[in-house]
Amino acid sequence: MAAYAVLAEGVRKRYGEKCALDGFDLAVRRGTVHGLLGPNGAGKTTAVRILATLLRFDGGRAEVAGVDVARDPRAVRGRIGLTGQYAAVDEILTGRQNLELFGRLFHLRGRRAALRAGELLERFGLTDAADQSVGGYSGGMRRRLDLAASMILAPQVLFLDEPTTGLDPRGRGEVWAALRALVADGTSVLLTTQYLDEADRLASRVTVIDQGRAIADDSPAELKNTVGGDRIEVVVAETGDIPAAVRAVARGAGDDARVETDDEARRVHAPVRDRVAALTEVARRLQDEGIAVEDIGLRRPSLDDVFLRLTGHRAEEAKEVVAA
């Protein structure tokens, strides 16, 4: 029990006739980032709201930072931070004023609130912009300020609901760096995200939720291993060349390989054992056939492949805007 920052066992939640969580289980180890992934309406946001004491649940058991969520929600709130999908900062105030305001809202006295604001501005790399209006901040800077605000009381557990939605690559990188620093200092993070590469890079463990239940839980590497090894992929220029590409890929991958096609994307792919030999053979056969190719290459399984295998569709088809 002491090894876990968040623990949920058989948690259930209904909204009228709709079952949002149906025996949901989750175990987040202390001092780690744990990813929570799932398709639209799977129950991710409901789970986070329950664990953050914003929703009551109908059955099961949940603990956060060693405190029972149902029995003592007030104590839980004193141990957690929560950051939603959109930065909750005042654009008129400066970064420093925002953090001092949040400090006062958390009942810190004036001097202590000012000291804590200065500490957080330094930790999140915002010191140079501390006295500038937040309206002039970039998206990544606003998100880092939002994270800083959630850390006013140095929470043991931080809930992040899609923290980099809408950010450009630079902004996402800034937020990732800030999260890694928090975890290095001992904070435990439960991260929901629509970007599977984000979970792959940040999370030491990932839980996939679908229809209110956890259907997979493991490290990103082990989850990807369940899909299989390396694959060769060919994207042809013309749909009519797909049959010839299938033959070429089948010969290169081996006669026992299962060749799959995506007609809309004009993509042919199959698992391979000998990566270099397969790529060389397929490229030679495509050239001999005179087939125009837009792309050819080898790739390892991704979390998107895991998502597809487990839920039946790719993650980009299931971006969750928000569920009750």
> Higher-confidence residue: 270 or 315?
270
Cβ distance 193 to 143 under 8 Å?
Answer: no
Query: Is residue 308 packed enough to be buried (19+ CB in 10 Å), middle (13-18) or exposed (0-12)?
Result: middle
Cα–Cα separations (whole angstroms), residue 264 to 111, 255, 304, 305:
62, 25, 18, 18
The confidence score (pLDDT) of residue 267 equals: 93
- Which helix (H) or strand (E) is 103 found in, with range? helix 95-105
The confidence score (pLDDT) of residue 98 equals: 95
Question: How far, in Å, CA of 225 to CA of 144, rounded?
Answer: 34
54-58, 69-73, 179-183: range with lowest mean pLDDT: 179-183
Which of 137-162 are b and which e, b meaning 16 or more Cβ less than 10 Å from the residue's Cβ?
A: bebbbbbbbbbbbbbbbebbbbbbbb
Cα–Cα separations (whole angstroms), residue 15 to 18, 179, 324:
5, 33, 9
Question: How far, in Å, CA of 88 to CA of 39, rounded?
Answer: 25
Question: How far, in Å, CA of 173 to CA of 192, rounded?
Answer: 17
- Which helix (H) or strand (E) is 293 found in, with range? strand 293-299
Q: Is pLDDT above 70 for 323?
A: no
Model confidence at 281, pLDDT cuts 50, 70, 90, reads: very high
Question: How far, in Å, CA of 127 to CA of 145, rounded?
Answer: 11
The confidence score (pLDDT) of residue 315 equals: 64
Cβ distance 101 to 94 under 8 Å?
Answer: no
Closest CA to 183 of 169, 161, 204, 165: 204
Tens of pLDDT, residue by residue over 64-89, are 999 999 999 999 998 998 887 766 88
Three-state SS annotation for 161-175: ECCCCCCCHHHHHHH
Closest CA to 52 of 37, 40, 63: 63
Average pLDDT over residues 143-147: 87
- The domains of the chain, with CATH numbers, are 4-79+155-225 (3.40.50.300), 231-300 (3.30.70.100)
Query: Is residue 107 packed enough to be buried (19+ CB in 10 Å), middle (13-18) or exposed (0-12)?
Result: exposed
106-120, 121-135, 218-232, 282-296: range with lowest mean pLDDT: 218-232
Question: How far, in Å, CA of 298 to CA of 284, rounded?
Answer: 15
Cβ distance 66 to 1 under 8 Å?
Answer: yes
DSSP 8-state class, residue 195: -
Cβ distance 234 to 284 under 8 Å?
Answer: no
The confidence score (pLDDT) of residue 265 equals: 92
pTM of the model: 0.77
2-6, 25-29, 130-134, 312-316: range with lowest mean pLDDT: 312-316
